[in-house]
Amino acid sequence: MKILLDAMGGDNAPNSTLQGAADALREFGDGMTIALLGDPDKLRAAAKELNIDLSPFELIPCTEDIDMHDDPVKAVRHKTDSSMVKGLTMLKNGEGDAFVSAGSTGALHVGTSLIVRTVKGVKRPALATCMPGKKLPFLLLDCGANAECRAEMLNAFGTMGSVYMNRVMGRQNPSVALVNNGAEDTKGTPMYREAHGLLRRNPSIRFVGNIEPRDIMAGEVDVVVCDGFVGNVVLKLTEGVAGTLLGMLKDIFMQNLVTKVCYLGVKKGLRGLKHKMDSEEIGGAPLLGAARPVIKAHGSSKPKGIKNAIRQAKTCVENDLCGTMEAALAELNSKGDTAQ
């Protein structure tokens, strides 16, 4: 198995990408090759600084970078020797089994759609993020790839998310819910009401109805479906609230000697909570619907995030996620409900 890694993508590249790749090879790299795409000189300098042996890696030289400020369509079309475009092209041509990048989300979405393409029945892939819930982690999609959606797209997201949670996360008969401003099926905009009807009739999923935002973090459902605008707001608000609350708890316990002593009694539990809320434990968000596995790591990923994004890519390949998803969507398409 070969994992293609955009070594120049992300705020902390190439040091974090290189260290994350080295950690991945050490922890779960049996039978796996990692190809690093990027500027060879910068990668060698980073390897020297981090004391990392580059010999286990395959180096793919690239002369261009895609900046976060680049126009996604122009960047994909004109920066053909960038680490992102070259990696996606290699993936399309069968020169790798999965692609991981912490680079521009917009460019990765456009590049995946134009180069790697999507499975039959999907025009645009959805960005899916696994998030921590009180009961169990859940999958939220779309998280920002498609700000405006049609009802048919949300229906397809439900199918794709259900397949992912079953094949990658090991959930049996995963439940699917639709984000809305009320539990009743009459709530929401016309598009959301139409999506509710399609999801309810979808034979490939176990649809449990609408879910209100206040109930999302309970982790009572496996897949939470929404358009990319709503999903991105939910994701960023959740990250912000989690960080703020943890900071406020720390301030409370650091007030005086008594509170510091009290902290010792709950120290283990708070560390577990911090670990649970750490987005780097998941590592990346797959672009579900892509014809080949593409994983988007957070732009600010540190080595742990990159390592776990590679782990996620490996799991997708081992479980033939794309093939399974294509088969599920083909079954649904035959009933005329999901064409995007």
pLDDT average, residue stretch 24-34:
92
CATH number at residue 339: 3.40.718.10
Mean pLDDT, range 312-334, rounded to an integer: 81
Which of 189, 215, 248 is the last residue in one of the domains? 248
The answer as to whether 28 is a domain residue is yes
Tell me the pLDDT tens digit for each residue of 84-115: 999 999 999 999 999 999 999 889 999 999 99
Answer with the one of 195, 226, 248 that is the final residue of a domain: 248
Strand-strand pairing, 33-38 and 58-61:
parallel
| Predicted local confidence at residue 339, as pLDDT | 43
Of the candidate ranges 18-32, 77-91, 293-307, 324-338, the one whose mean pLDDT is the lowest = 324-338
Residue 105: inside a domain, yes or no? yes
Mean pLDDT of the chain: 88
Residue type for 196, please?
H
For 174, the 3-state DSSP assignment is coil
Among the ranges 14-23, 146-155, 228-237, which has the highest mean pLDDT value?
14-23
Q: What six digits make up the tokens of 132?
A: 């921590």
Q: Specify if 275 maps to a domain.
A: no
3-class SS of residue 177: strand
109 and 195: one domain? no
Q: Does residue 229 have a pLDDT over 50?
A: yes
Asked whether the beta carbons of 41 and 8 are under 8 A apart, the reply is: no
Domain identity same for 75 and 149 = no
Task: Work out the pLDDT band at 186, boundaries 50, 70, 90.
Answer: confident
Quick: pLDDT tens for 66-90. 988 888 899 999 999 999 999 999 9
At residue 72, the 3 state secondary structure works out as: helix
> In this predicted structure, what is the pLDDT of residue 282?
66
In a domain, 222, yes or no: yes
pLDDT higher for 333 or 25?
Answer: 25
Question: Residue 239 CB: number of other CB atoms within 10 A?
Answer: 14
Number of domains present in the structure of the chain: 2
Query: Are 182 and 207 in the same domain?
Result: yes
pLDDT of residue 272: 74
Rounded average pLDDT over 307-317? 91
63 shares its domain with 155:
no
Q: Give the pLDDT confidence score for residue 303 in this predicted structure.
A: 93
pTM of the predicted structure, to 2 decimals = 0.82
270 in any annotated domain: no
CA–CA distance from 265 to each of 55, 165, 218, 278, 304 (Å)?
Answer: 47, 36, 25, 22, 28
Length of the chain: 340
What average pLDDT does range 244-250 have in this prediction? 85
Residue 237 and residue 157 in one domain: yes
Would you state the pLDDT for residue 334? 67
Query: Is there a single domain that holds both residue 116 and residue 195?
Result: no
**pLDDT tens digits along 139-167:** 999 888 888 899 999 998 998 899 888 87
**186 assigned to some structural domain:** yes
54 is a domain residue: yes
For residues 283 and 5, give the distance between their C-alpha atoms in angstroms, rounded to a whole number.
Answer: 13
% of the chain beyond a pLDDT of 90: 53
Instruction: Among 218, 248, 278, give the residue marking a domain's end.
Output: 248
pLDDT of 338 strictly over 50: no
Residue 194: predicted pLDDT:
95
Same domain, 146 and 224: yes
Question: 280 lies in a domain?
Answer: no
User: What is the band of 236 on the pLDDT scale with cuts at 50, 70, 90?
Assistant: confident
Residue range of the domain that includes 33: 1-125+289-340
The answer to whether residues 2 and 57 belong to one domain is yes
pLDDT tens digits for range 256-311: 888 888 888 887 777 777 666 666 666 688 899 899 999 999 888 899 999 999 99
DSSP secondary structure of 98-137: EEEE-S-HHHHHHHIIIII-B-TT-SS-EEEEEE--SSS-
Residues 100 and 137 in one domain: no
Q: What confidence tier does 64 reach under pLDDT thresholds 50, 70, 90? A: very high
% of the chain with per-residue pLDDT over 70 = 94
Examine the domain organization and report whether 121 and 5 are in the same domain.
yes
Q: Quick one: 8 and 121 in the same domain?
A: yes
Burial class (CB in 10 A: 0-12, 13-18, 19+), 78: middle
Residue 121 is predicted with a pLDDT of: 72
Could you tell me if 152 and 120 lie in one domain?
no
